[in-house]
Amino acid sequence: MGYLRLRDVVKSYDGRTNAVDGVNIAIERGEFVTFLGPSGSGKTTTLMMIAGFEHPTSGTIELGEENLTERKPYQRNIGMVFQNYALFPHMTALKNVTFPLRMRHFARDEIAGRAQKMLDLVGLGRFAARFPRELSGGQQQRVALARGLVFNPDVLLLDEPLGALDKNLREQMQVEIKRIHREVGITMIYVTHDQTEAMTMSDRVAVFRDGRIEQLGSPLAVYDRPANRFVGEFIGDSNFFAGRADPARPGTIELDGIGPVRVAPAAAAAVAGDVDVMIRPERLRLAPATDADNTFDMLVDDAINYGDSILVIGTTHGLPLRARVVRHAPDMLQRGATLRLAWSPADARVLAKE
Q: Can you give the CATH number for the domain in which 285 is found?
A: 2.40.50.100
Q: Which of 47, 35, 38, 62 is nearest to 11 (CA)?
A: 47
Radius of gyration for the chain, computed over Cα atoms and rounded to the nearest angstrom:
24
| Boundary residue ending a domain (207, 229, 251) | 229
The reported pLDDT for the residue numbered 327 is: 66
Sign of the CA dihedral with 54 first, then 55, 61, and 63 last: positive
Q: Please indicate, yes or no, whether residues 332 and 220 belong to a single structural domain of this protein.
A: no
Calpha distance 217→202 (Å, rounded): 10
Which 3 state secondary structure label does DSSP give 211? Answer: coil
Is the domain of 219 the same as that of 259? no
Q: Are residues 243 and 225 located together in one domain of the fold?
A: no
Mean pLDDT by runs of 10 across the 354 residues of the chain is 92 95 96 96 97 96 94 93 88 94 91 93 93 92 92 94 80 88 94 92 96 97 94 94 89 93 81 91 85 90 88 95 81 86 93 87
Asked if 119 and 125 touch (Cβ cutoff 8 Å), the reply is yes
Q: Which domain holds residue 26?
A: 4-229
- Same domain? For 258 and 225 the reply is no
Same-domain check for residues 129 and 205: yes
- 195 and 269 co-located in one domain: no
The total of structural domains in the chain comes to: 2
* 186 in the same domain as 123: yes
Q: Are residues 68 and 204 in the same domain?
A: yes
Indicate whether 216 and 251 sit together in one domain: no
What φ, ψ does residue 119 adopt, rounded to 5°?
A: -65, -35
Euclidean distance between the first and the last CA atom of the chain, given in angstroms as a whole number: 31
Domain boundary among 229, 247, 266: 229
9 and 93 inside one domain: yes
Residue 133 has a pLDDT of: 94
pTM: 0.91
Same domain as 272, residue 166 = no
Distance CA 325, CA 303 (A): 10
